[in-house]
Structure 1
């Protein structure tokens, strides 16, 4: 209790053992976050615990700097990658000065720490994701850094959602096509929803560079092209009943262009990638590596915004998701 209480009193001193304990708590929270889906209930609990651990760490860091006789400005070095590791090591090993004494602290600095902690705690409601493949192109492209918010209700038809793969537990991002009670079939590459074809209007061909992404994947093209040349795909604008209009891509006839009619049971969704010929989705069973029908309980959130492209693709800055 003394360890918790003194973290809120920045005027005092903290020894090496107390500081190491505070740093260890932050490391444990970071490890836990790396192992959990960010928008899962467990991920939300770890986000809140991480916010508390961060608050305790900064409090003891300020007290530890005073015990060493260092300025409080060194605290901001703890926020710099790599520099922070070296600084933590020094703070953990350096002895407390015999003449160290409690003293004042910067209220502005403490206010900034509270803002940072509040931002960490807000991760219970949102999470960033990086798009590694082109299965959702052109809506979401390889290298896109996107923002998703926690689902507070069942997703609507046409929503782009984040969900945990029913078998592997990995996070996937796809578009909701079929809701519980719907009948869904693919016929010659067109979605047949409850017996009615979902309308598609031809759009200009979509082009991207034929080069490997940072994740080692390459785009699939309508016709074979040499590396570095334009990769062309046929495009169409598809509109779901009561849902949004978005662009889907096609590169020819494939096995998944035709499927049997599926009746979506209660508590499940049928999802597709917008890049129809380059997506393992509900058309492919889980036994064959696809996602099959997705349980609603596995849906973690809805993708809202493309923040930017890590690959520098044009038009990807603060772009809302259709």
Structure 2
């Protein structure tokens, strides 16, 4: 009798775990996906170590709404296409809603399939260009106003131990790393912060005409962002299909300045539930 109870208890435990995983999978697929900022391409809007939930209901659903399961330590690399590939290829979405210019969006990289987060700059049919570090949309410059200086410690950041680039370089370890800060206002009135580090090739680009059903994305840390200014086949992002959008980032839940979000003593107290502009 005791053995029967023991066996039944193990079975119930396994069923509970399976049900919990199924519920969590459905929740993540349909509603919200956790995302931890791994790089500095969206500073100072998003910092390395920011933890947020992505609203997957914002733009409807496609194959990209299914989660990828990547655990290198266990050798797991299950792509969203492996789970929901049947819905891939038509560039359509169920309950699809068009994103708005200025949204901070998590999307699947068109080449690698990895999750990226950038700001939506260009809509289908528009012409996008950078001239001397200024963004032009349909041949018109956007408004850019100086907004002081962004500062941070010149030290390795996050689990990848990335060192920030500095406009006042060279800066020794532990020194004050500075970047020029501006407020950029896009057509339609959306304003957000952007950073400038130095004059470089990405400050002057050809004119990009965004194809129908695609979008043009850029990082707010303009000189430190692999984005739509460079094609995906050569290390950038290129144009992103509508079906590759995962969701909109609205608010930072909490933020860790350390190498792990579990190190609570490194959490940034001023970023709890910070709204993403």
Structure 1 match to 2:185: 239
- The answer to whether structure 1 residue 50 and structure 2 residue 43 are counterparts is no
Deviating runs (4+, > 3 A) in structure 1? 120-123
Shift of 1:156: 0.4
User: Equivalents in 1 of 2:24, 2:112: separation in Å?
Assistant: 29
Alignment of 1:1-322 (within 5 A): 15-16=8-9, 18-19=11-12, 21-22=14-15, 25=18, 29=21, 49-51=22-24, 121=27, 124-150=30-56, 151-152=59-60, 153-215=97-159, 216-222=161-167, 223-311=169-257, 312-313=267-268, 315-322=270-277
What is the aligned-residue RMSD (CA, Å)? 2.1
51 and 248 in structure 1: CA distance in 2 versus 1, 3 angstrom threshold: closer
Determine helix, strand or coil for the equivalent of 2:198: coil
Aligned length: 224
Give 1 or 2 for the bigger CA radius of gyration.
1
Residues 107 and 117 of structure 2 are in contact (CA less than 8 Å); yes or no, is this contact kept in structure 1? yes
Deviation at 1:299? Answer: 0.4
Higher helix proportion (structure 1 or 2)? 1
Cα deviations by residue, 1:180-210 (Å, 9 ceiling, x for unpaired): 0110001111111001001100111110111
Task: Give 1:227 shift.
Answer: 0.9
Question: Any unmatched runs of 5+ in structure 2?
Answer: 61-96, 258-266
Cα deviation, residue 26, structure 1 = 5.8
Matched residues in 1 for 2:24 and 2:165: separation?
Answer: 42
Structure 1 residues not aligned, in runs of 5+: 1-11, 30-48, 53-119
Q: Which has the higher contact order (CA 8 A, sep 6+)?
A: 2
> 8 Å contact 2:31–2:55 — kept in the other structure?
yes
Q: Distance in 1 between matches of 2:152 and 2:252?
A: 18
For residues 287-322 of structure 1, the C-alpha deviation after alignment (integer angstroms, 9 at most, x for no partner) is 211111111110010000011111233521111100
SS in 1 for 2:226: coil
Scaled by the length of structure 2, what TM-score is found? 0.76
Deviations along 1:228-260, whole A, 9 cap, x unmatched?
A: 111100011000011411110001111111110
Q: CA deviation at 1:128?
A: 1.7
1:52-102 deviations in whole A, cap 9, x for unaligned? 9xxxxxxxxxxxxxxxxxxxxxxxxxxxxxxxxxxxxxxxxxxxxxxxxxx
Query: Deviation of residue 13 (structure 1)?
Result: 8.8
More strand by share: 2
In the aligned structure 2, how far is the partner of 1:310 from the partner of 1:303?
Answer: 18
The 8 Å contact of residues 235 and 247 in structure 1, kept in 2 or not, is answered as yes
Q: TM-score, normalised by structure 1?
A: 0.65
